[in-house]
Amino acid sequence: MKVSFVAMLKRTCLTAWILILLVNGAIGQFDSTYFSSVDIPLRIGLKPLYNWAERSVDTVFTSDGYPNGWVQPQCDLRYRYRFWRGPLKLKASGQTLDLGFTGYYQIEGSSRACFRGTVLSPWTPTCRCGFDQGARRVDVRFLNTLSLLPRYQIRLQIQPQKPLPTDACAVCFWGQDITDQVMSGLWEELTAAQQTMESSYGRIDLRSYLTPVWDKLNQPIEIGSYGWLMIRPAGIRLNRMVAQGDSLDLTIGLKARPVVLNTKPTPLTIGLPADWDTPTQQEGFRVRLEANLQFDSLSRLVNTDFLPVELSAKQGPFRKKLRIDSLTLEGTSTQQIQCQLHLSGKYAGTLQLVALPSWDTTTGILSLKNLEYDLQTRHRILGATAELFERPIRNWIEEKCQFNLQTLLDSKRKSLNQYLQQAGNDMIRCRGELEQFRWVGSEVNRHGIRVLVDLQGKMSCTADLSRFSL
């Protein structure tokens, strides 16, 4: 398991599909305690691991010097044997991997009389078991229990099971049953194998593999015209680790406070936390997106679609006209939007108004309401006609300065869902769906309007271990 899981982390970083969930926005400052999170169920098919184990574990075991040499543990006994195994069989259930196989063996030996190391008789004729009557069989099993340890460690506790003989082993002409002696020797071998395996991979330390992933998440990521994304990770968690059938099911989670910036930020130097983050029972992603609507872009939309324009107002028998060439929107320190109308002709100059953004969560339309004139520019530019043009200007702004953000966010939702249906690479394939798309609120700053949206959805991934180097 060490090789496969580590390879998965190193070669995919598990970030490609996480980034797409965050790339269009960031956590806002409305709620300093809010964390975006991604909890993805990952199914790892173990068949390639079984195949790797099948290739890696020897199929034939013999005593030293076999078939001509003898093992002589003491003066009065010598033996030699040949042992081979059938195909490995693995069963996964809960936290346990059951590895077993059917073993086949042939053994032969002889004895002689000795006294205090002095030989008193020649060797008896060789006694054989598993030759003429067919190889003797025994069932061999190891139980491997997975458990999560603190400080990014996984424990694999390996426990050999008592070998279960299928056939008795009777040797020599008097038919002595040596099955118990053979099983006792095999048990010693299995116990020694257990100690070797546990010392090799009984405790898997993931810190050295998670650290480069964590460091990568702390690097700024360029996202085209959007600017730079800082994921700002706050924790990694392993919510679930369950084996079933021929699969290992994991749920891996990331907690973060992402932010999108206009200029390239300095990489963070915050190291991997000392321990796993607190596990959750949730799955899927819960990401708070921030759509930063720049006033430059909003102004450009109005100027392109609706300007220049002439407004008219009737004064007695005469009709007065006012020409608006362009418009500039800016934010104020009081959460208002300043609207500058650039006029030409008789009323040339810049007329300033302030308004409050009005957000309709049902329609997704952002508009300007409660417009108030800057008295200085109002009197200086409009003079005696100020009251005459007050309503036409207000009506025009309220009508034309409307921005359908629902259309914008629906397009993001569509592109996100398209990605979620085919996320991943040739080693990890993911499928997901955006389930909830909820408006949170908006906030005006100097450069634009921040709109917060909560996204929730599901995603599941499968890993193909046959594409990893085992």
Give percent above pLDDT 70 in the chain: 81
Query: According to the model, what pLDDT value does residue 139 have?
Result: 93
Query: According to the model, what pLDDT value does residue 260 have?
Result: 66
pTM: 0.57
- Is 82 a domain residue? yes
Of 21, 18, 14, 41, the residue nearest 417 (C-alpha): 21
Question: In one letter, which amino acid is 371?
Answer: L
- Is 191 a domain residue? yes
Give the distance between the most distant pair of CA atoms in the chain: 144
Of 40, 14, 390, the residue nearest 239 (C-alpha): 40
Enumerate the H helices of 226-362 as residue ranges: 295-306
Query: According to the model, what pLDDT value does residue 255 have?
Result: 85
Token digits for 158? 């390996």
Q: Could you read off the pLDDT of 413-446 as tens digits, one per residue?
A: 676 676 666 655 555 667 777 777 777 777 788 8
CA distances, 396 to each of 251, 338, 371, 402 (Å) = 54, 15, 11, 10
Counted domains in the chain: 1
Using CA atoms, how far apart are residues 206 and 5, in angstroms rounded to an integer? 9
Query: According to the model, what pLDDT value does residue 14 have?
Result: 30
- Is 469 a domain residue? no
Q: Which residue's entry shows tokens 């890993």?
A: 463
- Is 429 a domain residue? no
- Is 74 a domain residue? yes
Characterize the bridge pairing of strands 170-171 and 176-177: antiparallel
Using CA atoms, how far apart are residues 191 and 187, in angstroms rounded to an integer? 6
- Is 97 a domain residue? yes
- Is 431 a domain residue? no
Query: According to the model, what pLDDT value does residue 227 have?
Result: 67
- Is 160 a domain residue? yes
Using CA atoms, how far apart are residues 161 and 284, in angstroms rounded to an integer? 39
Give the mean pLDDT per block of 10 residues along the chain (470 residues).
28 30 35 70 74 75 88 87 87 84 89 91 89 89 87 86 87 67 80 77 77 85 69 86 80 78 82 88 73 81 89 80 91 86 90 86 80 86 84 88 74 68 62 74 79 76 56
Containing structural domain, residue 100: 47-204
Is there a cis peptide before residue 308, judged by omega within 30 degrees of 0?
yes
Characterize the bridge pairing of strands 448-463 and 36-45: parallel
Query: Long-range contacts: 266-271, Cβ < 8 Å, 24+?
Result: 266/220, 267/218, 267/219, 267/220, 268/218, 268/230, 268/232, 269/218, 270/218, 271/211, 271/214
